[in-house]
Chain A
Amino acid sequence: MLLDLTPGPLTEPLTGRHWDQPTVIEQWRRRLSYFARNGLAAGDRVFLCYGNKPEFFVDLVALWSLGACAVPIDARLTAFEIETLAEAASPRFSLWDGVADVGLSRALAGAGVEVLDANEAASEAPYDGLPPGSSIHLDRDALILFTSGTTGTPKGVVHTHRSLRARWISLRQSLGLDVFRRTLCLLPTHFGHGLICNALFPWLSGQHLFILPAFRPDIILQLGALLDTHGITFMSSVPTVWRLALRTAKPPRLSTLQRVFCGSAPLTAHLWTDIRKWTGTDAVWNAYGITETGSWLAGTSVGDFTPEDGLVGEAWGGVVRVLRTRDAGAQLGEHDICAPGDNGYVWVNTPALMRGYLGRDDLTSEVVSAGWFLTGDIGCIDERGRLYLRGREREEINKGGMKVYPSDIDSVVERFAETLDVCTFAVEDALLGEDVGMALVLRTADEKTLRSLHQWMAQRLAKHQMPKSWYLVEEIPRTSRGKINRAAVAGSCAALPAVDLRSLLRQPA
């Protein structure tokens, strides 16, 4: 069934809209007509500039059915970032939920990207010549997910139909399907965790998917009631959802939840235990995944267990090794494997591995070696074969499960005329785990310049990338090799007063 792409029903709890399987197929056929009429051809790339709606999923399978490659885009990105991504991916179309911003439409059109309104497809006559999935070639590109570089050199993870199906088949073999029969997705559908695993794995296996807007606080406040009303059996999540829900939301009264995953950010034993209490199930698992591996590649499917900091569990459809080396250019061998309990670099071998980074063979070769993928995480495997994560080597800020890359922000700030030096780094946040801090050296550090810089950044960075805490410094320390140690900069800024952005921005320009 997986190889035939048999989509299940779709429900949008907030609006009460429900598409049963025949309706899903009909909607999919309407989109086939719509895309075919607009001249979509096999191999075309299409930006999906919206998500978390039933229409998004039928658009996606319709694109695949015609041989196109879908590129889900975070709708919060600025026009500048979307143009940067368009330059890197050369999409044929961009698909919007409604009419796209005029300026952006013009810019995309100038770059040869045709702008389409997804709502127009609903009135199209259903195409009746093609059963779902019939023209899908396994080695054709299916999905590109941009993980960083939206302000400069984008890094797009390319998955083929083969790698995606390898992930779904692995999950089905490791986890079964029964608990996924009524799956809730409240994660964004433009990143691997939410899209590939939380949503597409159950839905394309014929299970019922309940789809919500991502991370809306009013939804989290009513999460318990929502789980009860819809008899939800499975949901995935990130720790931030629980930090808010455990403090503010009524727990479910009915015991419909059979399994809960939490991933994309470290899950502490304390939070883990509280989630178990709130949800009423012990089957709360830490799910470990990376976009490059089709997301979930390991988790706590280990029978009875006690939550522990860093505990992940066992691999799902692949092999996980902890090695002493991080050198993808070296010949990896048994001698590189760390002893049980010893920390090292986490490597993964999975048939669900990406084809590579879009147009960046140089980056791909830095992390892939003879089928093994360097995750960038530090961890260990104990005597029982259970994986534990102990830290990360990747340079990223994990903001509530969404990754923000310091270099993306630095590259925007560096281009501001008054900037002499900049360094962004992670600062602790009670809800999100981490947020963005920024140390700045400015030619003129007066209020007018700061306001101009804020405006400059807001035009080029999505809201979630904007640094929360700004620090004005005389210089940014570098190592003897000229490199920035972001943790050290964060440490030195911790003792400084942050710029009062609220007051600053309240004053007239």
Chain B
Amino acid sequence: MTRAELLQALEASGVDVPPDLGDDTPLITSGLLDSTALFQVALWIDESVTPGLDLTAFNLAVEWDTVAKLLAFIERHASEK
């Protein structure tokens, strides 16, 4: 998964991705990812990226809070498919 693909998926989930979004910009704690967008991202990851992975086993408030962390999460768990 590339950064561009992730940003595209975030946009499709309803996130207003700012053009200057940094890799370490908080997504969840800043409110950039609201409940609806977070739900859509969870659906996308659950269904398309890491199917079968129990997301409730993780502290997603930390592990998904930046683009860099989200990419690392996907890389770590997509390989477990």
Q: How far is the CB of B55 from chain A (nearest CB, A)?
A: 5
Instruction: Say whether chain B's binding surface is mostly helix, strand, loop, or mixed.
Output: helix
B residues near A432, Cβ cutoff 8 Å = 36
Check A250–B59 contact: CB distance below 8 A: yes
- Contacts known (A218-B28, A218-B29); A431 close to B36, Cβ less than 8 A: yes
Query: 1/0 per residue A174-193: CB within 8 Å of B?
Result: 00000000000000000000
A240 in contact (CB, < 8 A):
yes
Query: A430 to B28, alpha carbons, bound, how many Å?
Result: 20
B42: interface (CB < 8 Å): yes
Q: If the complex has contacts A221-B28, A250-B57, are A430 and B43 also in contact, measured as CB distance less than 8 A?
A: yes
Interface-lining segment among A108-116, A241-249, A304-312, A489-497 = A241-249
Bound state CA distance, A104 and B59, in angstroms? Answer: 40
Which residues of the other chain, A, contact B55 by a CB distance below 8 angstroms? 247-248
Is B72 positioned at the interface, with any CB of A under 8 Å from its CB?
no
- Using A217-B33, A217-B34, A217-B35 as known contacts, say yes or no to A247 and B28 having CB atoms under 8 A apart: no
B21 on interface, CB distance cutoff 8 Å: no
Give the nearest-CB partner of B61 in chain A: A221
Count the B residues whose beta carbon is within 8 Å of the partner chain — how many? 21
Q: Mark B11-28, 1 if CB is under 8 A from A, else 0.
A: 100000000000000001
Is the Cβ of A248 less than 8 Å from the Cβ of B29? no
- Residue from A243, A247, A430 having most chain B Cβ neighbours under 10 A: A247
Query: Is A222's CB under 8 angstroms from B39's CB?
Result: no
Provide 23 A-B residue pairs closer than 8 Å at the C-beta atoms, listed in order of the A residue.
A217-B28, A217-B33, A217-B38, A218-B28, A220-B35, A221-B28, A221-B38, A221-B59, A243-B39, A244-B35, A244-B38, A247-B42, A247-B43, A247-B46, A248-B38, A248-B42, A248-B60, A250-B57, A250-B58, A250-B59, A251-B56, A430-B39, A430-B43
State the B residues within 8 Å of A (CB): 11, 28-29, 31, 33-36, 38-40, 42-43, 46, 55-61
